[in-house]
Amino acid sequence: DAGVIQSPRHEVTEMGQEVTLRCKPISGHDYLFWYRQTMMRGLELLIYFNNNVPIDDSGMPEDRFSAKMPNASFSTLKIQPSEPRDSAVYFCASSFRQGMTFGSGTRLTVV
Amino acid sequence: GESVGLHLPTLSVQEGDNSIINCAYSNSASDYFIWYKQESGKGPQFIIDIRSNMDKRQGQRVTVLLNKTVKHLSLQIAATQPGDSAVYFCAEMIIRWATSGTYKYIFGTGTRLKVLA
């Protein structure tokens, strides 16, 4: 199993541009999570899905953030328009029951 | 509100010694407690978990202790090695099968473990 696969690993973009982060969860996992990690705020849950359905998006900072899970093997997190304060490492994780498996993350830098 | 917090942001341990990383939690309804290890440039990695009805669980070189009376969780690493240097997160998981069939995860802020040669 290749684990949770995220792309890209690094993204540098200019303020105002649209950014799309991608995630392929582990096959058979029924939960998918998007986290953001910064030095100041640590790990923050943005949104999570159960069987492709968004369950809790209360962590999504604002309307500029949106996430989709069109099928069990793919999810996207989109930021439009991006701002410098969105710079962080974004992790996708999937799980079946209590153990979460994280991807390697996408380091986003908005300049 | 609900929270999981760590007492020590940085812990320095001599190689070969035992490490103890502590975590306080506030939600009595948590069903599982999990420890994660995050190495530089990587995502958090599952280490060990413990159900709320247990007080101790052992893995390979790691032991998790749960004290529900004082809402305290600890991770003990035996014979600490340089490869153990990382940030360790505790997390609590609340299962809501009776309502929505979903669950909630709460992560702590993390403790950095430094292993000294």
pLDDT surpasses 70 at B2: no
B34 closest CB neighbour out of A33, A56, A98 = A98
Confidence (pLDDT) at B57: 97
pLDDT digits (tens, 9 = 90+) for A1-19: 689 999 999 999 999 999 9
Whose CA is closest to B108, among A71, A41, A31, A90? A41
Whose CA is closest to A83, among A66, A101, A55, A64? A64
Confidence (pLDDT) at A39: 81
Degrees to nearest 5, angle at CA B58 with B57 and B62:
120
B46 closest CB neighbour out of A31, A50, A99 = A99
Beta-carbon contacts below 8 Å between A and B: 47
Confidence (pLDDT) at A75: 98
Average pLDDT over residues B78-105: 83
Residue B100 binned pLDDT confidence (cut-offs 50, 70, 90): low
Residue A78 binned pLDDT confidence (cut-offs 50, 70, 90): very high
- What residue type is assigned to position B51 of the chain? R
Whether B100 has its CB under 8 Å from any CB of chain A: the answer is: yes
The reply to whether omega before B44 is within 30° of 0 (cis) is: no
pLDDT digits (tens, 9 = 90+) for A24-77: 999 999 999 999 998 878 888 999 999 999 988 989 988 999 999 999 999 999
CB < 8 Å to A31, chain B: 103
Whether B67 has its CB under 8 Å from any CB of chain A: the answer is: no
Cα torsion A58, A60, A61, A64: sign: negative
pLDDT digits (tens, 9 = 90+) for B41-75: 899 999 999 999 999 999 999 999 999 999 999 99
CB < 8 Å to B3, chain A: none
Confidence (pLDDT) at B3: 44
Which residues in A have their CB inside 8 Å of a CB on B? 4, 31, 33, 42-43, 45, 50, 55-56, 91, 93, 98-105
CB < 8 Å to B103, chain A: 31, 98
Average pLDDT over residues B78-84: 97
CB < 8 Å to B36, chain A: 100
Residue A85 binned pLDDT confidence (cut-offs 50, 70, 90): very high
Q: Return all residues near B69 (Cβ < 8 A) that are at least 6 apart.
A: none
CB < 8 Å to A102, chain B: 43-45
Out of A13-22, A92-101, B18-27, least confident range? A92-101
Confidence (pLDDT) at B54: 96
